[in-house]
């Protein structure tokens, strides 16, 4: 996943080898062009993150930039945990439907959502131990909360998962987009909402694990099923691929309901 992105980064650090047909201006131009591509790639991949933060601010949720960035960083680390989980799940090498479903739902979706869940369990534990939520966020009175945020309780677990999911998508989109910029643009509008939606369910599962383990299990399994269904649709031929966009945004809209639970 990260091989293409690492290639671009290594090209930035390595000295450009001079040939007899190139001048120093060529080296500077090549390096400048490479840097410009990387900055554009990062900007495109970060668009969903920027949109999400503006949405949090618009809805007046009690989330400040430091806490947002803290959750985003945790999500950016979750692909590493997902890769570790995948090492314990051997791939199915057959071409039958059961092999495809195993790879898509278990080896990819389950591993990636499992990586998010593990990082979110650790993140919520840190919140409780060091009171990081109140440290990074100002306490917002209920009457100052906007829209659907009134008359309920803000679910920081689901919110942390939502943001962490976007962090996961940021790294993944940049990695895939390093080989083709069009992939980064496509994933910004499809995969990023999906990972945010599934991350919200993972975060809610992490926060409910002690108080309601059955509901927590359902939240996690629903994230895996949504993720796997998206993966199946996005590689399907013809117009079927369009439904991956539907799954992505429907799951995103339903996930926003998890951010604030009515009392």
Between the CA of residue 125 and those of 64, 132, 158, 217, what are the distances in Å? 19, 10, 14, 18
The values of phi and psi at residue 160, to 5°, are -60, -40
Residue 221: its pLDDT value, please? Answer: 96
- What percentage of the chain has pLDDT greater than the value 70? 71
Average pLDDT, the chain: 77
The number of C-alpha atoms within 13 Å of 101 and in the hemisphere containing its C-beta is 4
Q: What is the pLDDT of residues 140-194, one digit of tens each?
A: 443 333 334 433 456 888 999 999 999 998 888 777 766 666 666 676 778 889 9
Q: How far apart are CA 55 and CA 150, in angstroms?
A: 16
The more confident residue out of 114 and 259 is 114
Q: What is the pLDDT of residues 42-51, one digit of tens each?
A: 777 788 888 9
* Sequence ranges of the domains in the chain: 3-262
Question: Does residue 207 have a pLDDT over 70?
Answer: yes
The more confident residue out of 215 and 47 is 215
Q: How far apart are CA 161 and CA 87, in angstroms?
A: 23
The values of phi and psi at residue 262, to 5°, are -65, 140
- Whether residue 79 contacts residue 168, with contact meaning beta carbons closer than 8 Å, is answered with yes
Residue 134: its pLDDT value, please? Answer: 61
pTM: 0.77
Residue 164: its pLDDT value, please? Answer: 95
Question: Does residue 21 have a pLDDT over 50?
Answer: no
């Amino acid at each position: 996943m990260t091989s293409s992105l690492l290639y671009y980064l290594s090209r930035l650090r390595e000295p450009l080898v001079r040939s007899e047909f190139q001048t120093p201006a060529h080296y500077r131009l090549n390096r400048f062009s490479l840097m410009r591509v990387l900055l554009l790639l990062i900007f495109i991949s970060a668009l969903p993150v920027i949109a999400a933060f503006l949405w949090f601010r618009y809805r007046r949720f009690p989330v400040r930039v430091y806490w947002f960035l803290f959750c985003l960083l945790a999500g950016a680390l979750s692909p590493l945990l997902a890769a570790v989980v995948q090492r314990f799940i051997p791939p199915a090498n057959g071409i039958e439907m059961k092999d495809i479903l195993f790879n898509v739902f278990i080896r990819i979706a389950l591993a990636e959502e499992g990586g998010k869940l593990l990082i979110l369990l650790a993140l919520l534990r840190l919140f409780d131990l060091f009171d990081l939520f109140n440290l990074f966020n100002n306490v917002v009175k209920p009457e100052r909360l906007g829209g659907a945020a009134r008359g309920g309780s803000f679910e920081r677990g689901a919110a942390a998962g939502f943001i962490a999911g976007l962090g996961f998508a940021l790294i993944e989109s940049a990695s895939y987009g390093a080989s083709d910029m069009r992939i980064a643009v496509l994933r910004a509008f499809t995969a990023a909402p999906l990972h945010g939606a599934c991350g919200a369910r993972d975060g809610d599962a992490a926060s409910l694990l002690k108080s309601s383990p059955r509901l927590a299990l359902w939240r996690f399994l629903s994230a895996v099923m949504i993720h796997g269904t998206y993966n199946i649709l996005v590689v399907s031929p013809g117009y079927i691929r369009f439904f991956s966009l539907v799954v992505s945004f429907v799951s995103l809209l339903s996930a926003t309901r998890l951010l604030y639970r009515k009392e």
